Each structure stands twice: as structure tokens, then as C-alpha cells.
């Protein structure tokens, strides 16, 4: 480990936090900033499809940092409306709390080219503009597409267009969400794709389809009659037990948060020959937006982990060409570190964002720093390491390793052996199929051949009562720990989800079925306790609420973009990341980012364990 790498990261995040944690005098905010900046002159145009929207109200906001979904801070100090061509321009009407503060623009009401005096009260559009100090750098086009990209990216932080916020500890997640939106749709052109890196395949057809669906309401008088465009859209978008949306941003947010709900009904509101092309030719399986990253660097990606900045670290393992790549959603692949000397199996990040790799041929563990350089004295061996696979960190930064036989091993944060030369006995587990650590330092180990879960204490001794076999455990292939210290278990053979309390007792209702479960092979729990699983049998992702109720539809999410999915991870922005093995051809693996569908989590997982923050939003 390299503790010296931690301070600059923390310092940078503190500066970012200072940039966004602001207050505007007269706006009712209680926070203050020491570096306000006079706003630049900037201009733009508002379109509903191809129609300019006149007499629409304009407001620019900066998100709050007093909590998720708290009131945003309005910046304009006077009323601004669009002209007859949908244009707007203003100078001196706002003050930037800081030059680097992220801001977004909201449009409400207006006339989308209809009879004089028309005001569509259901019209709401938005776009994420970027840093406040950069607003003079271009001419902005705010459209249905900028609205779609903004809402899907910010859904985990959002209640409505005037309530977008994060916690003081997750400014990075919010900034990353802004960047993802701008990758999908440009606020300068109002079209998709935006500023995405070359390795990113943006789902522009789905974005265009959603934009055209919104445009039918935008380009109307706003009537909510069930025979009118807005009424039809709002009725279809209303979630079960939810409130009917009153504007197009609210409708988009309902669709983003409930991507399996009324998919066909929502698709039926699509206008023929809409303003945004090309569109989907048939109703999708769900309304998730999935960015697919393709590169020859992803050569059979066998493992993946998300670091503190939101980057995905990917271990590719085809043949003898093992490598670790770092993927940024905004910059693409920023680094690739080839690895020689054996067959690398799995990857995990320590609390300092350093990747550790298991090597099944040399029976060792390798630690790299952020520059891809191997740490001193490694690879590490001893401690009973034999044919290692899975690995995970506990709250002390020590690493646990699952071996190919009935043992696990443990190394200190510096690579020193902490388990005996024969490893720790797993108490009857013939060969570990999954490994997870709880915040008490206990290791939960799955045995797929015996349908059991063994728990070892921090000292390596089996917890009394384990192994546990209740709750419908059937071919367990992944384990995730919840905030109460209990365990969720993905059953690959049973295509089901089991749950145990922290004492190993089955939770009522376990096992759970539905949500498109089909041979789940990996899983994670998000910041609200919802469970995410990737299905090897159907190329999909499933979601369950924290109660065990299915949230995704009968076919799951993402079937159009996933190919032999193998690993799943969550990030600080609420994105779900999936590593796909791809076809049998070398270099055909992909990494998929499903945008804004989960609740943000603390990353890396080792930090969440260390800070007792598993399954909590940062």
C-alpha cells in the first residue's frame, strides 16, 4: 500500500466539495462561498423537437450538497424568458458561487409554435451545462435529448428539476453524473452522441426514441386529457402506487426510475417521423440507457472493480495476455498494464485504489500501484495460498483469498502472511465459489457444490452454527453483505436469491424469484439496499428491492447490450457496471455502464467496509 497517494486524492475532493458547497445571498441557502465569480454572458435556444419554444421561463441552478434530492440553488436574479425564436441571452443576471461549480438550466412553460397566447404548463426541459465559469464558451441548445441524458444521469440525486442534490461526501459522484450526461448528449448541439470517448457506444437510438416520446407532449398545449399527448404520456409513465407526473421532466424521471414499467404503453406514444432519428423500430425490453465500451484491451474481462474516482479497473485474462486496464467514462481507457508470469484470475482494490491480483498458476498475489508498478516484495505467497481465485479486503485492509481447495488465506495490507502455512480451513467448504467480508471482519464463503455458506471470524475460526444451508441456497455463486451484516446469496443453479441474517438464519420469504433471474453469477447491493445481479443464463441484469420484491421485469434489464456477462459493480453515481466476456474471439469482451439505475455506493468496496458504510449512500 502507498499511504502517500491518499492525501492528494482527499485534497482534490475537498477542493471539488468547496467548489460546489455554496450559498447564494437572497436565495434562502445557508451555505456560503469564499470565491463567488460574476457570471458570463451566455446564450442559447430552446426547441421542442424542431419547433422553437417562445415565452418560456429560464432558470439556472447549482445542485445542493446538503443531501440527496434537497433543494437546488437558483442563480438567476431576474426573470428571463425566450424570444419568438426560442432564443435567450443574458449578462450579469447571476453570480457563480465558484468558477468550477456545476450548473444546469431548466426551461418551463412556453409556446411551442402554436396559436398566440398558448402556454404549455406541462413543458419542462433541462440541460447540464458544466462548470459555471465556462458558460461563455458556447451556444447552448436545450432539447428533449438534453433532458433525457440529464434525467437518466442524475436520477439517483433527483426528486424533480428543482431538487437535485448530493451529500458533502459524494461530490465526485455528482460531477461524474454530469460528465456522463454530456457524453450521451451535447448541450451545444442538443443531439446524441455528445462528448463520449471513442471506445464508448452511446445508445443514441434509445435516447432519440425517448426524446421523440417527450416531444409529443412538449409540442402540444399541455392538456392532460387521456386522449391528449401529455395525458397519454403521463398516464403511461405513472409508476404503480405513484403520483401522476405533471411535467415532462417528472415523466422522464418516472421512466428512468422504473425502466420496466409500461414499456409498451410508453413506446406507443412515440410520434411517427419524430424530430430525432434514428429511433428504435420496436418496443425495447426496458428503458435503461446502457453505454457499451469496446476495445481489444478487454480480452476476456474476468474481473472488475470501481475506484474512489469512479474509474473501472478491468482484469483481462485471455490466454497468456493478462492485463489490467483503467476505464474512465469520460476519457476512455486511460491506462493498460500488461501482466506476465502466470494466469491471473481475479482483481480487487484496496482502500488506496491499488489493485491486487490473484495468480492461479504461481499460487501468489500481486499488488500494483495506480501507475501499474508492482509493489516491493511481491508477488506475495505463503499463508497457504494455493490456486487462488477470489479475493476481498476487510476493514483493516487485510486481504482474504479463496483457494482452489477447502481453504482460504489471509495477508496483511503489506503482504505478510496472517494465515498458517496450510491456510484457514473453511469448515467443510470443498471449494469456495464466492467470498465476501462484512464490517466485523468476518469472511462469508459460499460452497456451490454443497449448497452452504461458511463464516469465518477475523481470526480464521468458523463461526458457531456455520456452515448455513437454509433459505433455499442452491448453487451459490455470489455473496453480498447488507448494512445489517446479513448476506444475500445469488443461486446460479436455482436461479434464485437467498437471504440470511447476520446469525445465519433464513429471512422470511427466502428464496426470492422473478425479476428475470436466470443463473445469476455475480451481485452487489446499492446504497438503498436494493440487490443487483447479473445473469449468465440470459445476458441480463436483475434488480430486487431491499424487501426481496422483484423490481426489474420478467426479462431483467439490458438484454440488447450484454454478451456473456460475468462480473457486476456499482459506482458513486448510481451506475451499474457489467464486465462481459463476449464471444470466443479474443478481444471481443466489453464493459457496459447502465446509467443511473442504482443508488450510489461508497467505492472501492474496501473503503465501504473500512468505514462501516456497506450498502449506504456516500
Does residue 442 carry a pLDDT above 90? yes
pLDDT for the residue numbered 13:
36
Q: Tell me if 347 sits within 8 A of 305, measured CB to CB.
A: yes
Q: Tell me if 205 sits within 8 A of 283, measured CB to CB.
A: no
Does residue 197 carry a pLDDT above 90? yes
Q: Please report how the helices 229-237 and 248-257 are oriented relative to each other, as an axis angle in degrees rounded to 10.
A: 30
Domains of the chain: 14-184 (2.60.40.1120), 200-267 (no CATH), 289-304+514-618 (2.40.10.500)
pLDDT for the residue numbered 613:
97
Share of the chain above pLDDT 70, in %: 94
Does residue 604 carry a pLDDT above 50? yes
Omega cis (within 30) before 190: no
Nearest to 78 by CA among 53, 103, 58: 58
SS (H, E, C) 37-83: EECCCEEEEEEECCEECECCEEEEEECECCCCCCCCEECECCCEECC
pLDDT for the residue numbered 15:
34
CA dist list (Å): 257 to 285, 343, 498: 15, 41, 25
Q: What does the pLDDT look like over 22-31, one tens digit per residue?
A: 332 233 333 3
Q: What does the pLDDT look like over 315-367, one tens digit per residue?
A: 999 877 799 999 999 999 999 999 988 789 999 999 999 999 999 999 999 99
Does residue 8 carry a pLDDT above 60? no
pLDDT for the residue numbered 378:
86
Q: What does the pLDDT look like over 394-439, one tens digit per residue?
A: 999 999 999 998 999 999 999 999 999 999 998 778 889 999 999 9
pLDDT for the residue numbered 209:
99
pTM across the whole model: 0.93
Question: In the predicted model, what is the mean pLDDT of residues 439-465?
Answer: 95
Q: Give the confidence band of 533 by pLDDT, cuts at 50, 70, 90.
A: very high
Q: Tell me if 516 sits within 8 A of 526, measured CB to CB.
A: no
Q: What does the pLDDT look like over 90-126, one tens digit per residue?
A: 887 888 888 999 999 999 999 999 999 999 999 999 9
pLDDT for the residue numbered 586:
65
How much is the mean pLDDT over the chain? 92
pLDDT for the residue numbered 584:
62
Q: What does the pLDDT look like over 35-71, one tens digit per residue?
A: 788 777 889 999 999 999 999 999 999 999 999 999 9
Q: Give the confidence band of 238 by pLDDT, cuts at 50, 70, 90.
A: very high
pLDDT for the residue numbered 610:
97
C-alpha cell at 127: 440541460
CA dist list (Å): 152 to 16, 145, 168, 442: 23, 11, 22, 37
588 or 149: which leads in pLDDT: 149
Amino acid at each position: 500500500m502507498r499511504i502517500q497517494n491518499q492525501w492528494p486524492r482527499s485534497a482534490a475532493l475537498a477542493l471539488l466539495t468547496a467548489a460546489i458547497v455554496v450559498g447564494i445571498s437572497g436565495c434562502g441557502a445557508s451555505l456560503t462561498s469564499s470565491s463567488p465569480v460574476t457570471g458570463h454572458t451566455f446564450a442559447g435556444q430552446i426547441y421542442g423537437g424542431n419547433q422553437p419554444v417562445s415565452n418560456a421561463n429560464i432558470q439556472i441552478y447549482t445542485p445542493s450538497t446538503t443531501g440527496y434530492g434537497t433543494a437546488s440553488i437558483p442563480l438567476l436574479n431576474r426573470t428571463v424568458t425566450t424570444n419568438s425564436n426560442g432564443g435567450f441571452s443574458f449578462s450579469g443576471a447571476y453570480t457563480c458561487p465558484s468558477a468550477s461549480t456545476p450548473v444546469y438550466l431548466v426551461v418551463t412553460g412556453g409556446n411551442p409554435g402554436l396559436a398566440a397566447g398558448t402556454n404549455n404548463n406541462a413543458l419542462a426541459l433541462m440541460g447540464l451545462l458544466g462548470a459555471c465559469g465556462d458558460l461563455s464558451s458556447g451556444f447552448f441548445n436545450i432539447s428533449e435529448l438534453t433532458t433525457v441524458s440529464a434525467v437518466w444521469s442524475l436520477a439517483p440525486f433527483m426528486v424533480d428539476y428543482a431538487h437535485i442534490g448530493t451529500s458533502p461526501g459524494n461530490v465526485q459522484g455528482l460531477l461524474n453524473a454530469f460528465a456522463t450526461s454530456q457524453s450521451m448528449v451535447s448541450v451545444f448541439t442538443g443531439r446524441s452522441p455528445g462528448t463520449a470517448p471513442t471506445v464508448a457506444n452511446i445508445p443514441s437510438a434509445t435516447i432519440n426514441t425517448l426524446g421523440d416520446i417527450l416531444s409529443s407532449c412538449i409540442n402540444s398545449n399541455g392538456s392532460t386529457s387521456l386522449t391528449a399527448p401529455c395525458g397519454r404520456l403521463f398516464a403511461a409513465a405513472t409508476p404503480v402506487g405513484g403520483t401522476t407526473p405533471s411535467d415532462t421532466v417528472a415523466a422522464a424521471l418516472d421512466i428512468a426510475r422504473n425502466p420496466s414499467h409500461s414499456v409498451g404503453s410508453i413506446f406507443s406514444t412515440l410520434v411517427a417521423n419524430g424530430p430525432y432519428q434514428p429511433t428504435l423500430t420496436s418496443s425495447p425490453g426496458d428503458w435503461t440507457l446502457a453505454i457499451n465500451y469496446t476495445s481489444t484491451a478487454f480480452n476476456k474481462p474476468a474481473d472488475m472493480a470501481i475506484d474512489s474516482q469512479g474509474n473501472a479497473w478491468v482484469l483481462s485474462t485471455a490466454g497468456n495476455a493478462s492485463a489490467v486496464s483503467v476505464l474512465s467514462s469520460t476519457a476512455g481507457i486511460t491506462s493498460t498494464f500488461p501482466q506476465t508470469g502466470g494466469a491471473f484470475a481475479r482483481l480487487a482494490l484496496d482502500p488506496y485504489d491499488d489493485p491486487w491480483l490473484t495468480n492461479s498458476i504461481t499460487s501468489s498475489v500481486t499488488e500494483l500501484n495506480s501507475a501499474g508498478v508492482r509493489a516491493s516484495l511481491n508477488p506475495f505467497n505463503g499463508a497457504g495460498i494455493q490456486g487462488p481465485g477470489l479475493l476481498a479486503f476487510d476493514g483493516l485492509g487485510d486481504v482474504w483469498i479463496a483457494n482452489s481447495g477447502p481453504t482460504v488465506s489471509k495477508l496483511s495490507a503489506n503482504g505478510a502472511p496472517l494465515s498458517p502455512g496450510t491456510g484457514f480451513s473453511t469448515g467443510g467448504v470443498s471449494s469456495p465459489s464466492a467470498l465476501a467480508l462484512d464490517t466485523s471482519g468476518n469472511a462469508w464463503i459460499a460452497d456451490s457444490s454443497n449448497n452452504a455458506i461458511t463464516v469465518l471470524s477475523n481470526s480464521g475460526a468458523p463461526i458457531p452454527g456455520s456452515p448455513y444451508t437454509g433459505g433455499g441456497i442452491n448453487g451459490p455463486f455470489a455473496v453480498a453483505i447488507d448494512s445489517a451484516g446479513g448476506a444475500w446469496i445469488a443461486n446460479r443453479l436455482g436461479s434464485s436469491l437467498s437471504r440470511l441474517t447476520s446469525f445465519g438464519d433464513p429471512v422470511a420469504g427466502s428464496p426470492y424469484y422473478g425479476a428475470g433471474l436466470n443463473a445469476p453469477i455475480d451481485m452487489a447491493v446499492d446504497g438503498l439496499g436494493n440487490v443487483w445481479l447479473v445473469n449468465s443464463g440470459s445476458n441480463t441484469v436483475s434488480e430486487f428491492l431491499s424487501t426481496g420484491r422483484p423490481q426489474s421485469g420478467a426479462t431483467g434489464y439490458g438484454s440488447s447490450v450484454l454478451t456473456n456477462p460475468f462480473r457486476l459493480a456499482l459506482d458513486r453515481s448510481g451506475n451499474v457496471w457489467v464486465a462481459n466476456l463476449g464471444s470466443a474471439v479474443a478481444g471481443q469482451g466489453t464493459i457496459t455502464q447502465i446509467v443511473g439505475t442504482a443508488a450510489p455506493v461508497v467505492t472501492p468496496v474496501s473503503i465501504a467496509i473500512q468505514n462501516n458504510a456497506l450498502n449506504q449512500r456516500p
